[in-house]
A and B are shown apart, each in its own frame.
Chain A
Amino acid sequence: MEVSQNSDYNDRKFALPVDSEHKATEFRLFSVATPHMRAFHLSWISFFACFVSTFAAPPLIPIIRDNLDLTATDIGNAGIAAVSGSVFARVAMGTACDLFGPRLASSSLILLTAPAVFLSSIANSPAAFLMVRFFTGFSLSTFVSTQFWMSSMFSPGVVGTANGLSGGWGNLGGGATQLIMPLVYSLIHSQIGSTKFTAWRIAFFIPAIFQTLSAFAIFFLGQDMPDGNYVRLEKSGEKHKDNFSQVFYHAITNYRGWILALTYGYCFGVELTIDNIIAQYFYDRFNVNLHTAGIIAASFGLANLFSRPGGGILSDVVAKRFGMRGRLWTLWVVQMIGGLLCLLLGKINTLTASIAVMLVFSVFVQAACGLTFGVVPFVSRRSLGVISGMTGGGGNVGAVLTQVIFFRGSRYSTEEGITLMGVMIMCCTIPILFIYFPQWGGLFCGPKKGSTEQDYYLSEWNKAEKEQGFHKMSLKFADNSRTERGNKGVPVTVTSYNETPPTSV
């Protein structure tokens, strides 16, 4: 992915070519160069660890439900609790990223939720089980810090790719855990010889330790921004410490953030719902054994290896030619098709066809997630974290809502629920048609004449703040985001801002 703009700013001390904000303009997967690629690897690995911990219980439920004497209602409630904890945590995480930086925000959250995973080992009742799943679920908000970090490290031309890969490979944890936990459990049960009810408890130490180690790695090896950590940048005056209420206000008054929160609820939320119900669906409807049902469930999550990143890459590819309008159209089309496939999935009666449709459905719905986060980095510069948090939180709200409406109790059979969920996906994707950026346009309308990226991003700062020069970073971003006009856009002359070139540190 070569975007050879601003090569004058190619600072020799960075391993990758960078733009004026020192964000990388290329994405090299197999490099661990500081700070860009290292940040990428740290973020996807830690997010993967959190996903493994959050979904560590489902594959071991047959053992846990006997040990803790759980009913089907208890299990369902714990599943909903696991994804609902993250709703507000994601918004909080977004705010924390804006104020303290992704490195501290994510390592703090991971260390604060690690005790919930350790304490899962001593859970003794349905209530305790619900509590540990609820608090462990908070760790899913590392998604927000992942996306924020990538948006801080990578330039608009590759941000979709970076976001898609880090989000997708993190989500992989949800599928991998269906294979890892039973393996760890059987090793402990047969090799070490612990009884069933002890073996699962010991097994939980593995994801817990993995999670803790990833937090250490982020703290010691990571860096908030290409130029350094927030603490140092704020001390030297390069970055001003922002005001919480202003950051929050500019996020919640931006209608695009709310629309994306809703639509993300119907791609990512659907993904989480399927993670929770699909094994049971295949087991009950097609009478496969539990082991096979688990493998099918895992394959849904494992598609994230390429499908979500594919969405992100597609977003960047489309943006080169068609800019932001291309990103929005692609998102709408892919998510609509995902909804259609979901509707179809509930109607299919044979096992092979059902698995095939499920796999294609997984690719589309996960690609839609990747495409969403190709748009999110552009909604706001000042409140990037809170917007990312709102969108991410919206994803979890979608999961909770969908499970409560369609997959609880016996009002709908599971196949009816899946079909209705498909209909709901399509309905909730329609609002994308209403997203409009004055400088780039929307799905049906072109850009407003004379409107620039500067106008849009600088509108987040008031006069007093501008006088103090707090808006400098938004200026640079506005410049760099000009690529969102696509190739068809009329080239605009670069206005100089009478500003000193970025200081090298």
Chain B
Amino acid sequence: MILHFKVYKSTTSSTMEVPNGFLVISLLLCFATTGHGVTFTSLQRTLVVTASPTEGQVLKAGDANITVTWGFNRTFPSGTDADYRTVKVKLCYAPISQKDRSWRKTVDEMQKDKTCQHKIVARPYSASNNTFTSTILRDIPSGTYFVRAYAFNGNDEEVGFGQNTNGKLETNLFVIQAITGRHASLDIASICFSAFSVVALAGFFYMEKSKGKSQK
């Protein structure tokens, strides 16, 4: 709160844009220092993010590539991104993939939020267009996704975000199909061991019967 007053004192004769930016940052820092976690609703959509998959496209994990681009949203005043240090681009679950799965729940407090669990890339921040292409990792589960990028300040707190879908998370969603994790060798081993158990049991019964016969 002290920080807040200091800003007020020094901005009486400055131009409009700079004090607004400082105000936003200082307010956010206030929240951080008073111990409240950063909430998603406090973040502004200051990044523009696009992703290569088209709406409804199905991508195979471990196989398909995804290209993401992100950059500063020029409609915001130019000093807004003054304290952005890093950007993390993540794969996030669309509402349909969160249904009846409380371990993927969206919670406003960023520390408890479970919407975006898979990191695509982390890069130092730069305002102009950044792109990154990679293969979708093999441990990504099946589901419907969108891409979101978070901007972090020097204290590793979220200070801004961008996403390739709209505010209601309805457009540009794409589907990822996970690997099964099965291999032919595993299947064969599994079936062979199972068959062995049953055959062994038959063997036991046979041995027991012949023991009975040989007793008397």
Binding site for B on A (CB under 8 A): 62, 65-67, 69, 71-73, 104, 107-108, 111-112, 114-115, 118-119, 121-122, 124, 195-198, 200-202, 205, 208-209, 212, 215-216, 219, 229, 231-232, 234-236
Contact status B204-A107, CB under 8 Å: yes
* List of A residues within 8 angstroms of B179 by Cβ: 195, 197
* List of A residues within 8 angstroms of B178 by Cβ: 66-67, 69, 197
Using CB atoms, name the residue of chain B closest to A74. Answer: B100
Using CB atoms, name the residue of chain A closest to B207. Answer: A219
> Shortest beta-carbon distance, A431 to chain B, in Å?
38
Contact status B215-A118, CB under 8 Å: no
11 pairs, A vs B, C-beta closer than 8 Å: A69-B142, A122-B182, A197-B139, A197-B179, A198-B182, A201-B186, A208-B193, A231-B211, A231-B212, A232-B212, A235-B215
Contact status A198-B181, CB under 8 Å: yes
Contact status A122-B187, CB under 8 Å: yes
Contact for B201 among A111, A197, A231, A235, CB less than 8 A:
A111
Contact status B194-A118, CB under 8 Å: yes
* List of A residues within 8 angstroms of B212 by Cβ: 231-232, 234-235
Q: Do most interface residues of chain B lie in helix, strand or loop, or is the interface mixed?
A: helix
Using CB atoms, name the residue of chain B closest to A72. Answer: B100
Bound-state Cα–Cα, A72 to B196, Å? 35
Contact status A196-B183, CB under 8 Å: no
Binding site for A on B (CB under 8 A): 99-103, 138-139, 141-143, 178-183, 186-187, 189-191, 193-198, 200-201, 204-205, 208, 211-212, 215-216
* List of B residues within 8 angstroms of A73 by Cβ: 100
Q: State whether A67 and B198 are in contact (beta carbons under 8 Å apart), knowing that A195-B139, A236-B215 are contacts in the complex.
A: no
Contact status B194-A236, CB under 8 Å: no
Bound-state Cα–Cα, A122 to B189, Å? 10
* List of A residues within 8 angstroms of B101 by Cβ: 65, 71-72
Q: Give the one of B142, B190, B212 with max A CB within 10 A.
A: B190
Bound-state Cα–Cα, A71 to B85, Å? 37
Contact status A111-B103, CB under 8 Å: no
* List of B residues within 8 angstroms of A67 by Cβ: 141, 178, 180-181
Using CB atoms, name the residue of chain B closest to A234. Answer: B212
Bound-state Cα–Cα, A66 to B104, Å? 11
Bound-state Cα–Cα, A71 to B97, Å? 9
> Shortest beta-carbon distance, B216 to chain A, in Å?
5
> Shortest beta-carbon distance, B91 to chain A, in Å?
13
Contact for A121 among B102, B143, B186, CB less than 8 A:
B186
Bound-state Cα–Cα, A236 to B102, Å? 63
Q: Given A121-B189, A195-B139, 11 more contacts at CB 8 Å?
A: A65-B101, A69-B141, A104-B208, A111-B197, A118-B197, A119-B194, A122-B187, A197-B138, A212-B193, A232-B211, A236-B215
* List of B residues within 8 angstroms of A208 by Cβ: 193
Contact status B208-A197, CB under 8 Å: no
* List of B residues within 8 angstroms of A72 by Cβ: 100-102
Q: State whether A231 and B215 are in contact (beta carbons under 8 Å apart), knowing that A111-B198, A114-B197, A124-B180 are contacts in the complex.
A: yes
Q: Give the one of A66, A69, A208, A235 with max B CB within 10 A.
A: A66
> Shortest beta-carbon distance, A253 to chain B, in Å?
32
> Shortest beta-carbon distance, A311 to chain B, in Å?
34
Contact status B143-A236, CB under 8 Å: no
Contact status B103-A65, CB under 8 Å: yes
* List of B residues within 8 angstroms of A122 by Cβ: 182, 186-187, 190-191
* List of B residues within 8 angstroms of A205 by Cβ: 189-190, 193
Q: Give the one of B139, B179, B195 with max A CB within 10 A.
A: B139
Contact for A197 among B100, B103, B180, B211, CB less than 8 A:
B180
Using CB atoms, name the residue of chain B closest to A194. Answer: B181
Bound-state Cα–Cα, A119 to B197, Å? 12
Contact status A112-B198, CB under 8 Å: yes
Bound-state Cα–Cα, A114 to B190, Å? 10
Q: State whether A115 and B198 are in contact (beta carbons under 8 Å apart), knowing that A108-B204, A201-B186 are contacts in the complex.
A: yes
Q: State whether A119 and B215 are in contact (beta carbons under 8 Å apart), knowing that A104-B208, A108-B201 are contacts in the complex.
A: no
> Shortest beta-carbon distance, A120 to chain B, in Å?
8
* List of B residues within 8 angstroms of A232 by Cβ: 211-212, 215
> Shortest beta-carbon distance, A230 to chain B, in Å?
9
Bound-state Cα–Cα, A197 to B183, Å? 11
Bound-state Cα–Cα, A232 to B208, Å? 9
Contact status A236-B216, CB under 8 Å: yes
Bound-state Cα–Cα, A231 to B208, Å? 8
Contact status B190-A124, CB under 8 Å: no
Bound-state Cα–Cα, A196 to B62, Å? 13
* List of B residues within 8 angstroms of A121 by Cβ: 186, 189-190
* List of B residues within 8 angstroms of A236 by Cβ: 215-216
Using CB atoms, name the residue of chain B closest to A100. Answer: B208
> Shortest beta-carbon distance, A135 to chain B, in Å?
11
When A and B form their complex, which 10 residue pairs have the shortest distance between CB atoms, in order from nearest? A197-B181, A115-B194, A66-B141, A71-B100, A231-B212, A111-B201, A114-B197, A198-B181, A196-B139, A118-B194
Q: State whether A212 and B197 are in contact (beta carbons under 8 Å apart), knowing that A67-B178, A198-B181, A231-B208 are contacts in the complex.
A: yes
> Shortest beta-carbon distance, A145 to chain B, in Å?
15
Bound-state Cα–Cα, A71 to B104, Å? 11
Using CB atoms, name the residue of chain A closest to B97. Answer: A69
* List of A residues within 8 angstroms of B195 by Cβ: 115
Bound-state Cα–Cα, A197 to B211, Å? 46
Contact status B200-A111, CB under 8 Å: yes
* List of A residues within 8 angstroms of B180 by Cβ: 67, 124, 197
* List of B residues within 8 angstroms of A196 by Cβ: 139, 181
Using CB atoms, name the residue of chain A closest to B211. Answer: A231
Bound-state Cα–Cα, A124 to B212, Å? 44
* List of A residues within 8 angstroms of B102 by Cβ: 72
Using CB atoms, name the residue of chain A closest to B62. Answer: A195
Bound-state Cα–Cα, A209 to B200, Å? 13
Q: State whether A201 and B215 are in contact (beta carbons under 8 Å apart), knowing that A66-B141, A111-B197 are contacts in the complex.
A: no
Bound-state Cα–Cα, A198 to B186, Å? 9
Q: State whether A114 and B194 are in contact (beta carbons under 8 Å apart), knowing that A72-B101, A121-B186, A197-B180 are contacts in the complex.
A: yes
Bound-state Cα–Cα, A42 to B125, Å? 64
Bound-state Cα–Cα, A197 to B181, Å? 5
Contact status B193-A118, CB under 8 Å: yes
Bound-state Cα–Cα, A234 to B197, Å? 27
Bound-state Cα–Cα, A196 to B138, Å? 8
Q: Give the one of B99, B100, B102 with max A CB within 10 A.
A: B100
Using CB atoms, name the residue of chain B closest to A64. Answer: B181
* List of B residues within 8 angstroms of A69 by Cβ: 141-143, 178
Bound-state Cα–Cα, A216 to B211, Å? 17
> Shortest beta-carbon distance, A184 to chain B, in Å?
15
* List of A residues within 8 angstroms of B181 by Cβ: 67, 195-198, 200-201
